[in-house]
Structure 1
Amino acid sequence: MAQIDYFFATLSPYCYLAEQRLEAVAAKHGATINYKPFDIIAGFGRTGGQSPKDRHISRIEYRAQELPRQAKKLGLKFNLKPAHWPTNGAPAAYAFIAAQNAGGGDLGALAHAIFRAVWAEEEDIAQDDVIRACLTEAGFDPALADSGMLEGAETYARNLEEAVERGVFGAPFYIVGDQKFWGQDRIEDLDLHLAGEL
């Protein structure tokens, strides 16, 4: 059975665009997803990238066109300038890690709930009540928002180190064996790879 190591950032609009399709591809091929939330802004600084606000105006303008186009194509509600972005994505990542360790719910649904809260629902994922609502929606104990913070922080930091070591420079980023796929627009390639066609 294939394993997809999935490096994602709770604040990434591209992860929001990708999430449900990733779950569908994994289910189609009987693959497992090993979720690895990490600090993408710190990752940019260590792999030659820049945070969105520091990019050249050409890249900023292209992003402003591309994200709404892709969301429309996928039939997803999307706000290019959400009320609570940027915010601190770490608390949601820590809660995700606590849920991952606890089990009992749907991690894909939790990831999507977090992304959707930012990019479609004008919610601040740094707030405990928002995180608890996401946990509940995905079938997890909402009290996980208040537990495992130290372990979550340690895992989050380890995931960043692993990401840098393994050549991850953006999100979403998928690794299967020695094959790497970057971006919400590479899910079709991931699908083909898992089918043995690419």
Structure 2
Amino acid sequence: MAHIDYFFATLSPYTYFAGTRLEEIAAKHGATIAYKPLDILALFARTGGTPPGERHPNRIAYRAQELQRIAKKTGLPFNLKPAHWPTNMAPSAYAVIAAQKEGGGDLGKLVHAILRSCWADEKDVADDAVIGDCLEEAGFDRGLSFTGLLVGAETYPANLEEAIDKGAFGAPTYVVDDGATFWGQDRLDDLDAHLAGTL
């Protein structure tokens, strides 16, 4: 049985556009997933990337076009300039970490609910009430946003170090236990093919 380490950021529009396709692919191949939210800005800083707001205007303009094209292709509702972006990623990441440890709910649904809250619903994913609603929607105890603070604070920086060790430099990144790495939601078809043994 294959295993996938899923490195992502709870504010990444590209992670949002992945929807729940990773979970569908994993189920198709009987693969397991470890959800590893991380600080994408710290990852950029450590691996030679540049935060979106500090990029050359040409890159910023192209990113805006590309995000809108991806939204049309995926059919997902999308605000190019959401009301609460950027915001503190840590609280929502901690909730995902705590939910994974606790079990009992749908982690893929939780991650997508958090991302949808930012990119479609104009909500602040640093807000405990918003995080609680996402936890509840995915079948978890909404109180995990408070009780999971310690495990989240311990695991969040460790996820960053692990991501760097495994070759990640952006989000989302999918690392299979055989070492194959796929960066970006537009590489999910390649991940699917790899797990099927055809790529």
* Residue 169 of structure 2: aligned partner: 169
- Structure 1 gaps of 5+ residues are none
CA–CA separation in structure 2 for the residues paired with 1:76 and 1:148 = 30
- Once the 2 structures are TM-superposed, how far is the Cα of residue 21 of structure 1 from its aligned partner? 1.1
Q: Deviations along 1:68-89, whole A, 9 cap, x unmatched?
A: 1111111100001000000001
Q: Corresponding residue for 2:77?
A: 77
Q: Distance in 2 between matches of 1:97 and 1:158?
A: 11
TM superposition shift of 1:151: 1.4
Query: Mapping of 1:24-35 within 5 angstroms?
Result: 24-35=24-35
TM-superposed deviation, 1:66: 0.6
- Residue 51 of structure 2 is aligned to residue 54 of structure 1: no
Structure 2 counterpart of 1:190: 191
Q: Which residue of 1 aligns with 2:136?
A: 136
Q: Whole-Å Cα distance in 1 between the matches of residues 125 and 3 of structure 2? A: 28
Alignment of 1:59-138 (within 5 A): 59-138=59-138
Give distance in 2, aligned partners of 1:100 and 1:175: 18
Distance in 1 between residues matched to 2:36 and 2:82, nearest whole Å: 24
1:19 CA displacement? 3.1
> Once the two structures are superposed, what CA deviation does each residue of 1:73-127 show, in whole Å capped at 9, x if it has no partner?
1110000100000000100000111111111100000000000000000000000
Range with greater deviation from structure 2 (120-129 or 19-28): 19-28
Query: Aligned partners of 1:120, 1:82: CA distance in 2, in Å?
Result: 8
SS at 2:197 equivalent = coil
Q: Tell me, in whole angstroms, the C-alpha distance in 2 between the residues paired with 1:38 and 1:188.
A: 23
Q: Which residue of 2 aligns with 1:23?
A: 23
SS in structure 2 of the partner of residue 142 of structure 1: coil
Q: In 2, distance between residues paired with 1:23 and 1:68?
A: 24
Provide TM-score, normalisation by structure 2: 0.98
* Distance in 1 (alpha carbons) for counterparts of 2:81 and 2:63: 12
Structure 1 residue 150: Cα displacement: 1.7
Matched residue, 2:2: 2
Sequence identity (%): 68
Q: What is the root-mean-square deviation of aligned Cα atoms in Å?
A: 0.7
Q: How many residues align?
A: 198
Q: Deviations over 1:126-154 (max 9, x none)?
A: 00000000000000000101112121011
- State the AA in 2 paired with 1:107: L
Q: Structure 1, residues 148-178: CA drift from partner, whole Å, max 9, x if none? A: 2121011001000111111110000000121
Q: 1:20 Cα shift?
A: 1.1
3-state SS of 2:83 partner: coil
- 1:186, CA displacement in angstroms? 0.2
Q: In 1, Cα distance between the equivalents of 2:3 and 2:197?
A: 14
Which runs of at least 4 in structure 1 moved beyond 6 Å after TM superposition? none
In structure 1, C-alpha distance between the alignment counterparts of 2:66 and 2:25, rounded to whole Å = 23
SS of residue matched to 1:151: helix
Normalised by the length of structure 1, the TM-score is 0.98
